[in-house]
Structure 1
């Protein structure tokens, strides 16, 4: 896990990406820069593990390049994908507010750059910027809101609806407009996509095949092309 120099040509661009994170939402430029200056830059290779479930943790990360999977292992050894994190997302943030064993494993999907924020650094910074606490509370509230919505979907939505919503969410976060439609290179296997929506692989494959037969999407290994987002949006409700 090598550390790259802060003075690289990409520093300004990466600072802009950091500022897009909920962690810095609403902060003035001077306050944001003073915190970013204390965050070490880390580079991770594809397949590298950032932390494991059960590790003691008091550090969080913000993604500025690449993707990170969050997963948890069941008692029978099966792995459950909890989320796919991308640029601007926070990883392991609970540990800076409630230090203790990690609840999940963070695994790098592709070559990634993350900025590290230890609890000690954040605590010292907050001592000098007490008015910034509300921004951190807002960032945590946004994560709780997202988790609550996910739980509600598991209870109230059928599998095709959850699959449609997952495709739209992945498209919003990782999609690119290409040749008049959105291409979403998420890097997930169909099994991982099934884990993400809380359903069996067979049921999810059936939903994907149905959407494809209607001309709404086209499915490839690790990606999906979206042609009819409005149809997916209507199906996700």
Structure 2
């Protein structure tokens, strides 16, 4: 049994029966991003998706299985505002841990403090690693164009390309268009129309794309 699983039983004992066990039906939210939060949750049965909205796009941060603590940041942040949305992917059960419960746990059970800190530190490390792996959008776009040119594809339809880039880099089409027009201003791309008057993006020279990649790396 994991440390957190062991502490679930201990938490119930420490709280002297004042804890709540909540049933969450599939597709229902435990809480929503931006709402006020006054409790953390321990998932004992089911599956929970943690997600957030980044530049108008949904981003899934984690899929949680028992036994997992989530929503704990609301107990530590001054404004207590939820920074993510938690939705049940299947019928689930969670133990509700209020701020009063947490104060009692921290006073009476050092092991509970240790387990919560372990979760927080682990999440911070994971978030940091992911942040470090996120590529520069501009460099990512250049690399993709370079791949197309390597395969002999020098001309792309404008609208589908913009949408695909936006979905890939989890950003807006407006921001992608800013990068595309910036590359066109540098002479790397040519923006125009084909014989059917459809907007297109034409890769000018592959060697120029290589030069930009080497400079940025």
TM-score (norm 2): 0.53
Q: How does 1:60-99 map to 2 (within 5 A)?
A: 60-75=40-55, 77-99=56-78
Which residue of the partner structure matches residue 21 of structure 2?
Answer: 41
Which residue of the partner structure matches residue 168 of structure 1?
Answer: none
Q: How does 1:54-133 map to 2 (within 5 A)?
A: 54-75=34-55, 77-99=56-78, 100-130=80-110, 132-133=112-113
- 1:56 and 1:102 in contact (8 A); partners too: yes
Counterpart CA distance in 1 for 2:5 and 2:119 is: 8
Cα 1:126–1:50 change in 2 (3 A) is same
Q: 3-state SS of the aligned residue for 2:27?
A: coil
- 2:41 and 2:72 in contact (8 A); partners too: yes
- 1:63 and 1:90 in contact (8 A); partners too: yes
Cα 1:33–1:74 change in 2 (3 A) is closer
Which residue of the partner structure matches residue 115 of structure 2?
Answer: 135
Structure 2: gaps (5+ residues): 141-166, 172-217
- Offset at 1:153? 3.4
Which residue of the partner structure matches residue 154 of structure 1?
Answer: 134
- 1:24 and 1:32 in contact (8 A); partners too: no
Which residue of the partner structure matches residue 204 of structure 1?
Answer: none
Counterpart CA distance in 2 for 1:140 and 1:120 is: 19
Counterpart CA distance in 1 for 2:120 and 2:5 is: 12
Counterpart CA distance in 2 for 1:131 and 1:114 is: 20
Q: How does 1:180-191 map to 2 (within 5 A)?
A: none
Cα 1:112–1:130 change in 2 (3 A) is closer
- Offset at 1:35? 3.9
- Offset at 1:96? 1.9
- 1:95 and 1:119 in contact (8 A); partners too: no
- 1:57 and 1:95 in contact (8 A); partners too: yes
TM-score (norm 1): 0.49
Which residue of the partner structure matches residue 175 of structure 1?
Answer: none
- Offset at 1:70? 1.4
Cα 1:96–1:113 change in 2 (3 A) is same
- 1:97 and 1:119 in contact (8 A); partners too: no
Structure 1: gaps (5+ residues): 1-18, 160-194, 201-237
Counterpart CA distance in 2 for 1:66 and 1:132 is: 22
Indicate the structure (1 or 2) with the bigger Cα radius of gyration.
2
* Count of equivalent residues: 140
Q: 3-state SS of the aligned residue for 1:82?
A: strand
Counterpart CA distance in 2 for 1:198 and 1:64 is: 34
